[in-house]
Structure 1
Amino acid sequence: MAQQATVLIIDDSPELRAVVGARLRASGLFDVVGEGGDGGAALMLAHEHQPDLVLLDTSMPVLDGLECLPLVLAVSPESKVVMYTGFQSAGLADRARELGATDFVEKGAPLDTLVERLWSHVGDPRPRQGPSRSRALRLARPDDPEPRAQRVLDEHLERYREVFDQATIGMATLTLNGSIVRANRALVQLVGRPAGDLVGLDYGVLTRQHGEQLDDALARITEGGEPVVSFEHPIGTERVRTARLTLTPVRDSGGAPLYVFAQVQDVTTELALRRSEEDFRLLVGAVKDYAIFMLDVHGRVASWNAGAAHIKGYDADEIIGQHFRVFYPESERASRHPEHNLAMALRDGVYAEEGWRIRRDGSTFWARVVITAVYDDAGRHRGFAKVTRDQTDQRAHEEERRRALEQQAHLLTVTAHELRTPAAVIDGAVAMLRDGGDDLEPHERRKVLEAMSSSALRLQRLITDLGTASDVQAEALALSPEPVSLRAALVTSVDRVRAAHGAAARIQVRVDHDVDLVADPSRLGQALDNLLENAIRHGRPPVAMSGERTARGIRIAVSDAGPGLQPRLVDRVFDRFAHAGPTAGSGLGLYLVREIARLHGGEASYVDDGSGRPAFVLDLPAQPEIPRS
């Protein structure tokens, strides 16, 4: 039998390391000589063991895989490095190979495929004899029955793909250079090209000579760090439409963009309706909604309508004869911006812009301005027509829409990322137990089952939080209150979290005197679970949970041995989608804790009294007035 290949496994998920390590050992082909959870560990272990192969995660805290890759090769030149990633991106794979990676494997691939891929880089290419090799080959038999657990897993893995493929607006994954990696059906229909023609195509080709806008947008994401960039461009071949492209980067644990998520929406009808609406309002509602007046050739106000009086606050006898620069902020007057606008209108015939303007009372408003040079029949310049509209409310609505798009894009990105690792753990564990479980050592089987259980609970909690957040947003979350034992509620929550995290969940519970309160036990448990998960994920062990009666009701506190929140996060830690750092989750957990507390008539807060043990606190009334479902 040929000698085993030595391998390092570097991934920030201990569950994934357990499953992959067990499968590699069970194959009989590999000797797992070390495991680590970040790039620093990868460097030390590679230098110490000089392994044949390093399986290296792309996204890790402290030092990500791409940054770590050339350093690993420097300290262990003979090692082959295979990138193991949860992100789907051809550009990312190319970049990894440029840095020296031997191969690039997605975490969604079956573990048997991973074993074969790894062995192809370090092992004997001839067929290997013995039970381990025959077992690996047996995994590929087409007549193997698919167990129920595998079908359930496949359904979970397909959920995000279905959302992507069946969305009514166009969606695509782009490399950082703008090449299309994946496109959904709506985008295929919008551009009028076969799906196969889009993969690998530069999206700039679809913009009909607006590629420079795409390049600028990508530069603003990769170099400027902007979270969302949008622009409109023509699209299509036989039937040209107008599309609004919204780009959002998907970043690694170090904040560097890995690839770009694109939303492409057909706004042709919307734009046509908007233009028609503006024309109608100009004709019918000009007196109220528009300031329409004339300037002489020097820029002095020569006429004034009721709309101008309404928007700017001047009566006609107060403003006629004054220079229109009185409407501009002081800084723009100093830079002679009003005179520049007249010069542009005289040169080009018309000049348009948006900016802040000053009312008579000194208040400001956001104005959309059009200045048109006016000539008589003989071609002599007679002055300027100026139309001003107050766009303050519209600007606020546009900002609100932009924030909604950011939240939507963030939720899609985070949900995909949060699902990928537990799905990969369950997929690998199910395949291994199905096809090679009899050959596992008892402690390895236990580790695999614990990893499956932990990952399943993580998926279930994410789905529950997403559903609850949706109900809260729609004001549809109702409660079913009943008497609840404080001690029982805390102990039950601790048991659930311990079951999900195993030995990593070092939690201390203290309830000096048990009391009853009226609450929805399911929602209360969800809030307590999220507080404990937050402490385990972001704090340091041990975690402490206490409950006590107060003068106003019940107080539950959760703390850990960590330093507490950064000051910049304290004021927004309970906001929806608030997150920080590479270990951040969906940004919904603490938001739901606060909303559940408020529905019970209580409040959630973060308390740092200088004792060195800051805590998240849940204050609930013992007998609240709760609307029943």
Structure 2
Amino acid sequence: MTKLPRDLNARDEAERHRLLINAVTDYALYLLDATGTVTTWNSGAALFKGYQAEEIVGRHFSVFYTEEDRAAGLPARALETAAREGRFEAEGWRVRKDGTRFWTHVVIDPVIEDGEVIGFAKVTRDVSARKARDAALYESEQRFQRLVQGVRDYALYMLDPVGNITNWNSGAEAIKRYKAGEVVGRNFSMFYTPEDRENGAPERALATAVREGKFEGEAVRVRKDGERFWAHVLIDPIHDEAGKLLGFAKVTRDITEKRRALEEIERTREALSQAQKMEAIGRLTGGVAHDFNNLLTVIRSSAEFLQRGEQDPRRQKYVDAIASASERAALLTSQLLAFARRQPLQPESFNIVERLEGLRQIIAASADASITLELGFDGPELWIKADPGQFDTAIINMVVNARDAMPSGGAIRIRASRAPGVPAVRGHAAAPGEFAAVAIADTGTGMSAETLAHIFEPFFTTKAVNRGTGLGLSQVYGFAKQSRGEVAVSSLEGAGSTFTLYLPMSARQEPATPSRQSVDVKTPPLRILLVEDNLEVGQFAATMLEEMGHAVTRVGDAQSALTALEKPSARFELVFTDVVMPGMSGVELAGQVRERWPKVRVILTSGYSHVLAEDGAHGFPLLKKPYTLESLMRILAQEAVAREGAALSAD
């Protein structure tokens, strides 16, 4: 550091200035003459330009410029600008004595005497460090900008404190379909739906971000073309060092596909849950039908026996009531089996147009007089192969359901048409193919979403007590499923309902006329081995067979039956066996009987759902529980005819 003399007053002013200038080491301070030749040189200039005073005084200041700047005439233009405008200021590259370059900030002021430029005062500062920092900052900003612009899966942009957009990345353009020039300066609420703008959602989002330090949520947003999409939104407030709010950083991601995938997973889960529930209910109803049929076998046949004999007229009405109630109970069991998709179907080819026309009067009778009925068809023929009786029952059940939904009257419209497949129903995927669709629409009260979720479940009903069993639509559901079809429902509360039954179409076939074997053959007495695990049913069946003149031996399981057949004294002509029993089933027993005692006939009986569905698959006649005296007599007579035919063939 230059030391100042103690007695400054002894120095002249020029010397003091020289000492002051030499004391400055952060700036190069020197004078040029009018031509640009260096005339003075301070210690700061020597420090960062590398020249000592004796090496540079007398040389032109252009020595500090780069070759390209000298070739471009920059030194001369700097002096001309300073002389003309009173000041030249700029930044640029300069060259040290050792040839290294550094970035400088330069100020040149003209020195004027008597109105004439006699030289120039030049101040130069080495700002290389700042230049490097600025360059690094610029490069960092550029990298960040490239990073932000390179992100196309997210909309990244800034808002000012009131929510106006200040910048826009390529992801925002891709997601929202606006270019930067179309949105910068506008309020971000433009992306909200009209209903969200009306209820103040944009303002609440910014207020939440300020209050809680962040706003995050999922909602519907609007693209430029008006398309709506699901967005995940994040808004972070930006503050300066003093805590003043500068604006907001906003990140938006299009999650429409994610939402759709989650919704599809949820629909699939619900469909699986519904299918599992219906399957469980089906298994339960099948089991209930089995036990119920055992009880009904005793009740129906007992009532029938009593009806055949002479009765006190006062008691006859009670016997008739028992018989009538058992018939209705058997119908309920049949509907349970229909829902469980285990009813024995007898499919035939028929034209549903003719079938519905034939049902017109029955349908009209099933509806109230205050209800108008309209039938419409796409054409004269729509052929399917299904159980016609169950088809009729399904149509009537849907008509009755429509009627009950219109207590004050209305209209039922039935339309049959071709359908190019089954639509997605209750979460299941659509099914392609040729289907006949029978739609039954009403103008009734409609149903809520909660009701729609349960309408096919057995015993579910919204009707008053004694107005229905809750099994009608269960039968429709079971019949459709068992026939490889579907039933769809659409309904709105207060706007009516439409049930559409889809059944696979088939080629036209004239129904074959079944040959009926006479059942009027007198059945000779038979030695019968009765196999029944239910004690009550077994005792009653034995009594009934004995009343018919047959000799009956009763056992409780298949193994006991085989033991009885193996006895040397056994002379059984017929085995009458239940199917579902502990251990060996009746079908397995029948197979062994046919193999070991081929002359012994076998009749199976069951009320269990899966057995009824497999009627005929095992090759043995099957009597469905609950059976009546008449049905038992018929099947025994048929077996007598078959036995006689086999005997004639053997002869």
TM-score (norm 2): 0.32
TM-score (norm 1): 0.33
Higher alpha-carbon Rg: 2
**Greater relative CO, 1 or 2 (CA 8 Å, sep 6+):** 1
